[in-house]
Chains A and B, each alone.
Chain A
Amino acid sequence: MIATRDETLAIRHSDDVVRVRQAVRGEAIAAGLGLVDQTKIVTAASELARNTLDYGLGGTARIETFTDAPRRGVRLTFEDHGPGIADLDQALTDGFTSGSGLGLGLSGARRLSNEFTIHSVVGEGTRVMIARWK
């Protein structure tokens, strides 16, 4: 797998969530994803960026495009040093929320991605990696 482009954005304010959406859109186009795939990865990115802000108390979004023949796509890594998630199974359940949201953020982002991995340690933080390819 070859990473062809790579950038990291800070997520500190809700403006940054907009910036992440726009940057992911740009990379998804560069990776040659179709319109529906672009929309899915940008929507997933929006959910995860908001989680990083609201639950992770801020963090970073790393946006990479990759070529892994015959696949080309976008890989996103959201990382925070917030409180972490104690029960991942529960957090990934539709409708479960510890905040005021709909509880679709993590589960929805997983459905919208071809690949989804999450790693979280209570007291240390959370890292979510998703990818979508054509």
Chain B
Amino acid sequence: MDRIPILKLGSALLVSIQVDIHDQLARALEEDLSARIVATGARGVMIDISGLDVVDSFMGRMLDNIAAVSRLLDADTVVVGMRPAVAITLVELGLSLTGVKTALNVERGMALIGDGRYEALEDDRAAEGADDRDPG
């Protein structure tokens, strides 16, 4: 089965949805992301939807769910890159995604979830420990 790749970027996980995806793939992403948050100890999740020309109520609910699950797993979620026509349509649809943080682009999103700090992930810390170098 196809999967949407989840990339690690500092202390955050980055997902970029580049194509129109069907519902099962969206559900798989929800599960994969929660597993990766726990496995990596990520403090933030960034979902780039700049490639999506449509976000319907199903996809909107999935974004809301991901944000809620991430929060329970101690990670912030930010959705970035929403197209203007998509935002207008979502509001008219009746879905304003109040549970989801949004940012205009990846850079601003990163600032939002990382608070400007790029902490190392659990496995990175372990690697640094083994390296035993003074970071200063």
- Using CB atoms and an 8 Å cutoff, list the residues of chain A in contact with chain B: 14-15, 17-18, 21-22, 25, 35-36, 38-40, 42-43, 46-47, 50, 94, 101-102, 104-105, 107-108, 111-112
Contact = CB atoms under 8 A, between A and B. Distances in A.
B57 A14 contact: no
A47 B57 CA distance: 7
Contact of B56 (A22, A25, A43): A43
Interface string B81-112: 00111101100111100000000000000000
Given A15-B22, A18-B20, A36-B88, A42 B53 contact: yes
A43 B93 contact: yes
6 contacts: A18-B21, A36-B84, A40-B88, A50-B23, A101-B58, A112-B89
Contact of A39 (B57, B58, B61, B88): B88
Given A36-B89, A112-B89, A43 B54 contact: yes
Given A14-B23, A17-B23, A94 B94 contact: yes
Interface of B: 20-24, 53-58, 60-61, 83-86, 88-89, 92-95
Contacts, number: 71
A108 B90 CA distance: 9
Contacts of B92: 40, 108, 111-112
Chain B interface, >50% SS class: helix
A59 to B, nearest CB: 17
A74 B84 CA distance: 22
Contacts of B23: 14, 17, 50
Contacts of B57: 47, 101-102, 104-105, 108
B24 to A, nearest CB: 6
Given A39-B86, A47-B93, 10 more contacts: A14-B23, A18-B21, A21-B54, A36-B84, A39-B89, A40-B88, A50-B56, A102-B57, A102-B61, A108-B95
A39 B23 CA distance: 18
A104 B53 contact: no
Given A14-B22, A111-B93, A46 B85 contact: no
